[in-house]
Structure 1
């Protein structure tokens, strides 16, 4: 069993419940808005089980600034992606939260990537990282995952065209080595896979491992599911190992990664619950509902327990054939009529 997927249900829930109760009290003391919302709803500060931990709808981060540290301690502001004219979430990070998120991301990915930095191809454009203090979800994802790589190569030019010459040279240079690929699902599909098909290119990424997430809505509109995506990328680009992940800017660093058997897992420091979209009552395993994400990481803003706009189903707990403990689940997509947003659902005139 590999850390951070080694805790079983009883031990994990006790550990998380203590951490979440502590965070609820902390955020009530340091965020007047959060405190007012909990007091108005009559929610107690000491939950007796995970289902009783108070949660906020993720939409609130688009409507108000929620921060639990003095503004002068904020070192980074993350924003969600969205189409032109949409409101975006703003997430304020202090140094402590930023460091916690980076360290935890490293631990979560170790079972898949090991502890050695790999040659890395980022299936995106470098221009998304221009402002180091204010990042979009895309920029935050690239920056976080770039820690696992070395000799970084950005496969897309600023106009989103594929740098084919540079890509082929990079693949030749690292031929025979394991290459780490990272990108956002829809952008890989639109600007890498479709471009390769259009040009009739059959690339070979060799002993590669692709980590990707976000932007599934547009692929589902094109009737492309995870199995089809993986199959076509292997056929056209020679990418052999593909791992999707589920995460959001409102809990950046708290990512849920797909195991070798294709199931998305909850690590030791985070959990998910599924709630009825109408009553918000907790649903049993096997029933689809709204995903509630919970994480020990957010300290600079009250984001430790959030109700998302995504539909999902818990498939099991502590019994996945991959050997990882924790709940494992599937994500069906956004609830109908929910505002379209995502790490990579849009690329319009510089909106990233």
Structure 2
């Protein structure tokens, strides 16, 4: 597969017919590749009676339930080629997924993230305020979802400031010094939704001190499950954050450790977008047939960038609705959608390595 050719293309410039054709070819090739290089995956395809060397359309590609990455070591490279191991989110005591990356796969996923981010806020490196503790990155070889997110978004940074100390306390003095240094300049702000709400918003809401982050672009991910339990909607999240920080530009994103780099960014119209480096299908729970646009279904995510492990087609534990394709008012091509939350039977897990403090 020509990864340079894929990653040299703009992320939101490919129309649906061309993309669907390419995804059938790319994912068929990856399915054959992982069949040969991952014994467990090959056995699964055998049991499913998926014939070898048969061209499949995008919607025919076998999908792995995301939970399998918790129960099995799914890897398509020799152990001595593992460059980095990613772990998924999970509350204490829960089993987490382990995703094994070689240098090439890690590089492809990082380039995809850089291209997607560049489309939203430009290619210039910006000062980055991370609304988390630097302790998350203690182990550089075994990355949690939070650590991977921080490391991934650090590629956009010219300088990094951590807004929380090791005890998860908001360090307003350090943040203010950072802001003073870059007065009048755009800055990027990154964090996980629940962490931002609990340790940034709630701390500022109780404080007499306010921070002027009006030049900031806030990127946050990890879902709203914990906030919905507190009756905080996505709209209210944005409004409350703006009240205490004056941040005008706020983007949510949807992503997972099992397909790092292939994130789905929220555009100014409030829609999550699939780029050239990822795609989404929604399926009916009763028979896994493909849903129509506008119909609620279980989210399947696809990506050609999962080379070191068979993560190119994954059935998630989330429900969503595809709203349209190639016609979002923001002008980006590709499918756009919204996530409704976890499916009823799914194990409840926090998407930001739930911090219990």
Q: What TM-score range do you get, normalising by the shorter chain?
A: over 0.9
2:313 is aligned with 1:313: no
2:23 is aligned with 1:16: yes
**Hey, what does 2:114 align to over in structure 1?**
106
More divergent stretch after superposition (306-315 vs 193-202)? 193-202
User: With structure 1 as the length reference, what TM-score do the two structures score?
Assistant: 0.96
**In the alignment, is the contact (CA less than 8 A) between 1:268 and 1:326 conserved in 2?**
yes
More divergent stretch after superposition (258-267 vs 57-66)? 258-267
**Hey, what does 1:3 align to over in structure 2?**
10
2:45 is aligned with 1:38: yes
Question: 1:23 & 1:38 partners in 2: Cα distance?
Answer: 13
- 1:40-55 residue pairs with structure 2 within 5 A? 40-45=47-52, 46-55=54-63
How far the C-alpha of 1:343 sits from its partner, in A, is 3.0
Helix, strand or coil at the partner of 2:200: helix
Question: 2:233 & 2:149 partners in 1: Cα distance?
Answer: 22
Query: 1:307 and 1:47, CA in 2 relative to 1: closer, same or farther beyond 3 A?
Result: farther
How far the C-alpha of 1:151 sits from its partner, in A, is 1.6
Structure 1 stretches lacking a partner, 5+ long: none
User: With structure 2 as the length reference, what TM-score do the two structures score?
Assistant: 0.95
Question: 1:200 & 1:33 partners in 2: Cα distance?
Answer: 57
Helix, strand or coil at the partner of 1:212: strand
Question: 2:51 & 2:226 partners in 1: Cα distance?
Answer: 40
- 1:38-117 residue pairs with structure 2 within 5 A? 38-45=45-52, 46-117=54-125
- Give the aligned length: 348
Question: 2:306 & 2:56 partners in 1: Cα distance?
Answer: 21
How far the C-alpha of 1:169 sits from its partner, in A, is 1.4
- 1:198-217 residue pairs with structure 2 within 5 A? 198-217=206-225
Helix, strand or coil at the partner of 1:99: helix
Give the CA RMSD over aligned residues: 1.2
Q: Which runs of 4+ in 1 moved over 6 A?
A: none
- 1:332-347 residue pairs with structure 2 within 5 A? 332-344=340-352, 346-347=354-355
Question: 1:280 & 1:270 partners in 2: Cα distance?
Answer: 20
**In the alignment, is the contact (CA less than 8 A) between 1:217 and 1:345 conserved in 2?**
no
